Every structure is written in structure tokens, then in C-alpha cells.
Amino acid sequence: MASLRISLPLLLISLGAIAMAWAWLATPISLLRAPIDPNAKLQCISYAPFRSHQTSSATTQVSRQQIAEDLVELAKITECVRTYADDLGLDQIPEVAAGLGLKVIQGIWLSKDRQKNATQISTAVRLARQYPDTIIALVVGNEVLLHREMSVSDLATLIHSVKAQVPVPVTYSDVWEYWLRYRELESAVDFVTVHILPYWENIPIPAESAVAHVDAVRRRVASAFPGKEILIGETGWPSEGRMRGPSLPSRTNQARVVSEVLELARREHFRVNLFEAYDESWKHEFEGTVGGSWGLFDAASRMPKYPPGVPISNFPSWKLQMGSGMVLALLVFGAAWLTLRRKPWQPAPAAWVAVAISATTAGILFGVAVQKTVHESYGAGAWLLWGTLLVAATASPVFGASALISGRAPPAFLELLGPEEDRTPSLLAAVHGLVWIVVVMIGAQTALGFVFDPREKDFPYAALTMAAVPFAAMTLLNHPRKARRPVAESLFAGVFLVAAVYTCCSEGPENWQSLWTGAAYLLLALTLWRART
């Protein structure tokens, strides 16, 4: 009875905290409006037709029907689409666009492969001559100088060659720093097409300062090329993915930045092409979650992310996420009560407080972890990795509640992997130990990733915190003192400690995702360091 008097109020507090947290997380920003105004069409938007597992590789061939389905929807919200290449079936876009009254800024993809370059150019020239009323410009090369695909002199020669063959204006597109670095390209183009992406700047720009940055850069480029019109060929914001410094990808930030840029363009009367129409899931493999999350339309459903009149929230399914978190919290307390029923005794109040903290943490973060898993998993490998971590993180507070109430110490690696005489005879402890090994191994893999190749890595702060808190509580309350420190746990503790310090320092103090992940690594390191066999 004493345990119920302690645990029931804690359960109610836990459920209330979960409800309050989700009510705060899901609060829509009422001042935001949908970036796509059905009464005012966009000037232009970048479009690539690739769906599902289609990529820009040579094995893909996009059908006319697929393009038509997309362009019918895009014709409702924009006057123009910008493309980047004319192979893989993309050469059908101008014909379909012409039938819908859409204009096209036709791209020519240039690389180090001269034969492919020649094919791209000849196709684009043919299309420009065939659809002079639809294709309003050719873009000869996209960020070729940034990616060091060719020299500036070779690029200028190709641009001049294309200009001599087509009846439409010709330009080149690159990030704004490279236009300022290679100003000799001015004479080759009819107008300057510049990319301004605040998220990807060398010094990342927060969403609240993005529109001011776009305006300042546009004015700077315009002053450098006073005789040329400036087209902002790419600008936008990602809706999902990892933070870079203070730059946070989110639905609300994407809607805010796009809306403010469009309002600035209307007010200042300059041309802007948004990046981009549809999320491109295939880019996850090469550019991380961020790379596939710049679209204003969902990749799978092909529907707008922000329908007019619908409140914009970072968690549109928050009620389901909150409910599932409450169910998980109930399972955690249920595991504790079941353990107490099987082993009747009076656990310390601190054990119930630890159960409540584990349940509340898991209940709040479970919905976040699931959403991150869905958005950040691309391909079987990623689904297996993040799905396994999510399962382990979900199981951790449930098994942890049982261990906290029974007084069981955290399972050591040797209890599962050591000599037979060291292995635990308890099936429950063995399964709990397997959960711990999964958390440590996947956590270490992510930690090493942030040290050696962090650019496209997502921060697994939600799942790691769900898993780390119960194990840390077990170590604090049920720590076996008269035993030896195992070597394996100590080595992993060192990995997490180094990764936490390095990640937090390299990402900077404004990146709360890295700070949170670093704190989870430190908690794992402390738990491993205090492990005893």
C-alpha cells in the first residue's frame, strides 16, 4: 500500500507532464501563413520529378504521366518551374509545361564528363528552339565552379557557345560567393543567377535572420554586377534534419523563411525561384535528411505541406504522439508494479522517483523519436539502424523500471558475452543486457560519426536520452560497489566522453541538438564508467 501511495501520484504527475510538454511542442504559430498563396502564384520553383527510390542515376527513366501529374498540381501555385537537367526523361517537361501554360527555366547539367555535357547541351538547344514561348531561359551549369567540375574559362566558352545557338536568354547558376570570386563570367551571361541558402552558409544563419541575409546578399551581388539583372535561382529552408549552428530545420521555420522571402520579393520587385517543389527522398543517401527536405510538397503523397488555412506546427500528429507517450509511461509504471507483485518488498521512494523520471522522459520523447525515425530513415540499412535504436530506447525504461524496483544492478557486458561462469542465469537480466549492448553499440557508432564525418549526420538526441536515463538511474541507485571495473565498458565510456566534448565544441553553443546529444553521450559515459562486474 505504501508503494501505491507513492507511485500513483507520481504516475499522475508523469502523465500531466507529458500532456503539458506536448501541448507546448505542438503549439502552432498563429502568425505564420501558408507560404503558398492560392491567390498569388509563385514566380518560379525548382522541380525534379524523382519519386520513391528513383534517383538521378542513369537507371532512372521518368515517365510523361509522372511529370504530367506533378505539373498539373504545380500549375495551380506557380507560373514557372526550374529544371536542372534534360536527360532521364526530363526532356519531356517543356512539352507538358507548354500544354499547362507553365514557363520553364531549362537547366543543363554540366560535369567533368565532356560527352554527357555535349548531349545535355544539344538536347537543351533543341528544346529551346522547339519551345521558345515556354522556355524563358537556359541555365548552363549548376554550381559547376563550387564543385570544381571545370575551369571558369571552359565554362565561359560553353556558355558563349550555347548563347550563339538559342533564341532565349542564357545564364549560369552558383552560390553567391563564387559569382563574386569569378566576376569575369558577367560578360558570358545575359543575367546572373545566384543561390542564397542561409542554412548552408559557412557561418549558418538562423531562420529569424534568413530574410535579412537574403536581402543583404542580393544587394551585394547587384552592386557587383550593376549592368545585369539578378535572379535568386535558389533560396529556401529545410523542414527536417540536423541543426547547423543556430540554423534549425523545421516545418515552422521553413514556412516562415519562404513566406518572408516571397514578401520581400513582392515588396522589392526582384525575381526569385524557390528551392524546391517536392521533397527528394533519394537525396538522403548523399546529403542526409536535410538534403531531401527542402520541398513545399511531400515526396510520397505529393500534397502541400502547408495547406492554406491549416495551422502550421512542427508536430502535426501531436495528439497521436502524446497518446502513445502516455501509453508508454503507463507501461513503465506497470512493469514496476508487476515486479513488486512478484517480489513483495518495500522499495525506497528514490526508486519510484527514478521510475517516474524514466517514464516521463520516455513519454515526452517517444513521439519525437518516432517522427525522427520516419523522416531520417532512407533505405533498408537506415531503417534497420534507427528502428533498432528506437526499439531499444522504448524497451529501456520498461526494463529499467523492473530493475529499479527490484534493486537489480545494471547488466554488464560480461554477463552476456563473457565466460559461461560469468553469465547471468536470469532471462530478464539477459534481455535487459542485450538492450544495453544495442544502445551502447549504436550510440558509439553515431558518436564516432560526429567525430570523423559529421556533415550529414542527424543528432539522435531523443532516442538516446530515452535509453540513457533509466540506465543512469540504475547505476546511481543500484550500483554494486565491491566489484571490479570492466575494461570494455571503460573503453566505450572514453569514446562517448571524447565524442561529447568534440561534438559540442565543433558544432558551437547555439546548436541545441548537438549540446543535447553531447549530454546524452556524457550520461552514457558516466553509466559505463560506473559499471562493475
* R_g of the chain computed on alpha carbons: 27
In a domain, 298, yes or no: no
Is 35 part of a structural domain of the chain? no
pLDDT level of residue 59 (50, 70, 90 thresholds): confident
CA-CA distance, 176 to 40, in Å (whole number)? 28
Reduced to 3 states (helix: H, G, I; strand: E, B; else coil), residue 279 is: coil
Same domain, yes or no, for 412 and 517?
A: yes
User: Given pLDDT bands bounded at 50, 70 and 90, which one contains residue 55?
Assistant: confident
One domain for residues 423 and 454: yes
The answer as to whether 397 is a domain residue is yes
- Mean pLDDT, residues 445-472: 96
- At 351 the pLDDT is 93
Residues 193, 328, single domain; the answer is no
Give the domain extent around 47: 42-291
**Which distant-in-sequence residues (6+ apart) come within 8 Å of 267 by Cβ?**
none
327 and 224, same structural domain? no
Q: How many CB atoms lie within 10 A of CB 387?
A: 12
- 244 lies in some domain: yes
| 515 grid coordinates | 549540446
Task: Average the pLDDT over 342-366 and give the result.
Answer: 92
Q: Which percentage of the chain shows pLDDT scores above 90?
A: 80
pLDDT tens figures, 270-295: 999 999 999 998 898 888 999 999 99
| Confidence (pLDDT) at 409 | 82
Determine the Cα angle at 86 with ends 85 and 92, to 5°. 130
The answer to whether residues 20 and 138 belong to one domain is no
**Distance between CA 235 and CA 176 in Å, rounded?**
11
- Positive or negative CA dihedral for 359, 361, 362, 366? positive
Domain boundary residue, one of 240, 256, 291: 291
* pLDDT at 343 exceeding the cut of 80: no
259, part of any domain = yes
Tell me which of 258, 291, 324 is where a domain ends: 291
Pairing of strands 271-274, 170-175: unpaired
The secondary structure element, H or E, covering residue 178 is helix 176-181
- Give the bridge partners for 107, in sequence order: 139
pLDDT of residue 517: 98
Q: Does one domain contain both 347 and 496?
A: yes
pLDDT (mean) for 109-125: 96
Residues 325 and 262 in one domain: no
421: in domain: yes
* Cross-strand pairs, 194: 174, 232
Question: How far apart (Å, rounded) are the C-alpha atoms in residues 143 and 200?
Answer: 14
pLDDT band at 30 (very low <50, low <70, confident <90, very high): low
Residue 33 lies in a domain: no
The two beta strands, 103-108 and 230-235, are unpaired
Highest average pLDDT, of 147-151, 337-341, 476-480, comes from 147-151
> For residue range 408-450, what is the model confidence (pLDDT) as tens digits?
887 788 878 777 766 777 788 889 999 999 999 999 999 999 9
**Co-location of 191 and 324 in the same domain:** no
Domain end marker among 239, 259, 291: 291
| Rounded Cα gap, residues 54 and 515, in angstroms | 36
Same structural domain, 407 and 353 = yes
If we measure between CA atoms, which residue out of 231, 232, 244, 258 comes closest to residue 291? 244
Q: For residues 199 and 161, what is the distance between their CA atoms, to the nearest angstrom?
A: 34
Q: Which three cell numbers stand for residue 293?
A: 527536405
The CATH number linked to 241 is 3.20.20.80
Domain count, the chain: 2
Question: Residue range 357-368: average pLDDT?
Answer: 98
**Residue 425, Cβ neighbours under 10 Å: how many?**
7
Same domain for 384 and 261: no
pLDDT at 329: 98
**Same domain membership, residue 129 and residue 236:** yes
Query: Is 309 within a domain?
Result: no
DSSP letters spanning 216-245: HHHHHHHHHSTTS-EEEEEE---SSS--BT
DSSP state of 422: G
342 and 448 inside one domain? yes
Whether the predicted model's global pTM rises above the 0.85 cut: yes
